[in-house]
Amino acid sequence: MRNFRKNLLNASSKQGRSTDMSCMLNLPAPLASCGEPCPLSCKKIYHEHKKDYKPYEALGPNSGIFDQRAAEKAVKEVEVMGFDAIAFGNMGS
């Protein structure tokens, strides 16, 4: 079985892209991650409040809503109705 990682890393460095993710792991304190050592923003902590981005993704761009405030309203409405926002958004997309 061939591992393509070496080829992909070489191709990205030839195009001037950096594959060093250390800059993503050193986030400022108000935007700390959930504690996992990864650069993804599925969950971030802003001061004391943790915000999970997955429901906003599912009921936002995945459902054709590209306005952030409209997506927030949709998430609140779906949660008030008692549905899981991620599952609800992914059913419609």
Q: What is the mean pLDDT of residues 48-53?
A: 68
The pLDDT assigned to 81 comes to 94
Kindly list the domain boundaries of the chain, sorted by start residue.
Answer: 5-92
Percent of the chain scoring above 70 in pLDDT: 43
Read off the pLDDT of each residue in 25-53 and give the average, rounded to a whole number.
59
Q: How far is CA 28 from CA 20, 25, 39, 46, 65, in A?
A: 18, 9, 13, 10, 29
What pLDDT does 7 receive? 47
pLDDT of residue 77: 94
The stretches of 26-64 forming alpha helices (DSSP H) are: 54-58
Whole-number Cα distances in Å, 45 to 16, 33, 87: 32, 6, 23
pTM value is 0.49
pLDDT at position 9: 45
